[in-house]
Amino acid sequence: KAGVTQTPRYLIKTRGQQVTLSCSPISGHRSVSWYQQTPGQGLQFLFEYFSETQRNKGNFPGRFSGRQFSNSRSEMNVSTLELGDSALYLCASSLSGRAGGELFFGEGSRLTVL
């Protein structure tokens, strides 16, 4: 069974640009979450989607947005990039539609903003 797939794995952008990251969840998983991981802040919750609806959102500015498609694949977008957006962006999928249940993470997209 294929795991969570994230693309691209690595990318370099400059300040002011925008970026789109993609995530394909495990087959059958309808919940997709996004996390930002940095050395200083650890893993921080960005948002979670279930059946194309955003159910929960973390404390990030509006420059961070996401969406989920009918096949459960998800994308997140960061506009007007800042140096502080450099991080590992992790996508996780979950089987359960209810609250609870473990997350299955992809290997992440490492974003560097110059």
Give the number of C-alpha atoms closer than 13 A to the C-alpha of residue 50, restricted to the C-beta side. 10
Q: Mention every residue, 6+ apart, whose C-beta is less than 8 A from residue 102.
A: 94
Cβ proximity to other proteins: between 16 and 69 the closer is 69
Q: Could you count the other beta carbons within 10 Å of the beta carbon of residue 110?
A: 16
Applying CB under 8 A, which residues contact other proteins?
4, 31, 33, 35, 42-45, 48, 50, 55-56, 58, 90, 92, 94, 99-108
Cβ proximity to other proteins: between 27 and 56 the closer is 56
Cβ proximity to other proteins: between 84 and 101 the closer is 101
